[in-house]
């Protein structure tokens, strides 16, 4: 067989493994969610059910999960996956990352005819693509959560003023509002039903959702439980503050939209033009990498200029509210 044929076979196998990892992880996450919804059992029985559900990892990533248990970077990655609400374990995420590196290298080999520079570029892209997705998913989920905080507080305040307890008001929020607020509040209610204190459950939610507004709400609820006071009135005041902050953030985003678009153009346009020229005329662009020190110096200077422009514009358009 030709090298291109072997590359296509390896790419196909890597894609099949990737699909199997994702499907198996989703099946495992659905099993856990189904077990967590059964709160008709006693507390001890429910704890056993949750522990049994947690012992059902994806078969491919089982060995990786055992090898990575207790390591600091694995715990940090697990927190990042929880914040992005990605239903993958640490081992499964690393397996997906390795597979994407292989797929990128194979595609680079096929498209460029074996050019090592193009192979390395696509392999590096495969390494960073999952982390870029996790970061984007975190930002998108955090933005949606912050936009729903005002509605959540209004439901909580109305429920408390109607005579509901805090837990009953949270159950109403989990039923009435869409995700991600309903998902996070539902987890809080479930954790309280299996015996955790409200302080612990709120701290767990704050670990999953790194929101300054949520931190303010959690602090206010913890202080109110310690010293007393009218929780509905406190949350109503916080709700007004959050609504005003969301409104101001929206106005700032509109005013800085042109600057953010310029930032993306500065970063993506040179890279896109370089890849396009390399595909249509590899010999012309390969001189950057084969002409010795001068070519690599030009590549490094271009990369530094792009990076400096990105961070300069990002600093200008980022306005804290």
- The answer to whether the beta carbons of residues 178 and 199 sit under 8 Å apart is no
pLDDT at 55 over 50: no
Extract the runs of DSSP E, i.e. beta strands, from the chain. none
Q: Which residues make Cβ contacts (< 8 Å) with residue 137, sequence separation at least 6?
A: 84, 85, 86
pLDDT in tens, 171-190: 999 998 888 899 999 999 99
Q: Which residues make Cβ contacts (< 8 Å) with residue 146, sequence separation at least 6?
A: 211, 213, 242, 246
> Is this model's pTM higher than 0.75 or not?
no
Parse the chain into domains and list their residue ranges.
3-142, 147-239, 256-317
Cα–Cα distance, 138 to 136 (Å, whole number) = 5
SS3 61: coil
pLDDT at 46 over 80: no
- The answer to whether the beta carbons of residues 157 and 236 sit under 8 Å apart is yes
Instruction: Number of helices (H) and strands (E) in the chain: give both, helices first.
Output: 15, 0
Q: Measured at the alpha carbon of residue 177, what is the angle toward residues 176 and 180, in degrees to the nearest 5?
A: 145
Cα–Cα distance, 242 to 214 (Å, whole number) = 10
What are the Cα distances from residue 75, in Å, to 47, 80, 98, 153? 22, 9, 19, 31
DSSP at 178: P
- The answer to whether the beta carbons of residues 181 and 196 sit under 8 Å apart is no
pLDDT at 95 over 50: yes
- The answer to whether the beta carbons of residues 239 and 157 sit under 8 Å apart is yes
Q: Which of 285, 310, 313 is nearest to 299 (CA)?
A: 285
| pLDDT tier for residue 291 given thresholds of 50, 70 and 90 | confident
Provide the CATH number for the domain formed by 147-239 in this structure: 1.20.81
pLDDT at 5 over 60: no
- The answer to whether the beta carbons of residues 184 and 218 sit under 8 Å apart is no
Among 7-21, 26-40, 125-139, 162-176, the minimum mean pLDDT is found in: 26-40
pLDDT of residue 71: 67
H or E element: which one contains 142? helix 116-161
The single residue listed with the structure tokens 């307890």 is 165
């Amino acid at each position: 067989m030709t090298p291109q044929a072997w590359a296509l076979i390896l790419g196909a196998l890597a894609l099949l493994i990737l699909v199997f990892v994702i499907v198996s992880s989703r099946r495992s996450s659905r099993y856990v969610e189904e077990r967590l919804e059964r709160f008709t059992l006693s507390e001890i029985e429910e704890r056993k059910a949750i522990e049994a559900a947690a012992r059902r990892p994806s078969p491919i990533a089982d060995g990786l999960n055992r090898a990575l248990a207790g390591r600091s970077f694995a715990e940090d990655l697990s927190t990042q996956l929880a914040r992005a609400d990605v239903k993958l374990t640490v081992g499964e995420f690393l397996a997906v990352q390795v597979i994407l590196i292989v797929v990128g290298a194979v595609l680079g080999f096929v498209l460029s005819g074996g050019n090592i520079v193009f192979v390395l570029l696509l392999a590096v892209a495969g390494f960073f693509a999952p982390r870029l997705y996790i970061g984007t998913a975190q930002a998108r989920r955090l933005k949606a959560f912050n936009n729903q905080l005002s509605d959540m507080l209004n439901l909580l305040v109305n429920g408390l003023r109607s005579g509901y307890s805090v837990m009953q008001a949270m159950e109403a929020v989990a039923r009435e509002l869409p995700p991600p607020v309903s998902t996070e509040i539902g987890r809080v209610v479930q954790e309280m039903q299996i015996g955790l204190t409200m302080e612990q459950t709120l701290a767990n939610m704050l670990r999953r959702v790194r929101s300054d507004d949520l931190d303010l709400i959690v602090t206010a609820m913890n202080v109110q439980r310690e010293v007393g006071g009218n929780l509905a009135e406190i949350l109503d005041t916080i709700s007004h503050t959050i609504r005003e902050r969301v409104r101001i953030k929206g106005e700032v985003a509109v005013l800085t939209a042109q600057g953010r678009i310029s930032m993306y153009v500065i970063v993506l346009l040179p890279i896109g033009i370089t890849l396009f020229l390399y595909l249509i005329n590899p010999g012309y662009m390969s001189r950057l990498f084969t002409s010795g020190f001068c070519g690599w110096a030009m590549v490094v200077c271009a990369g530094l200029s792009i990076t400096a422009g990105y961070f300069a514009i990002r600093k200008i358009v980022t306005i804290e509210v």
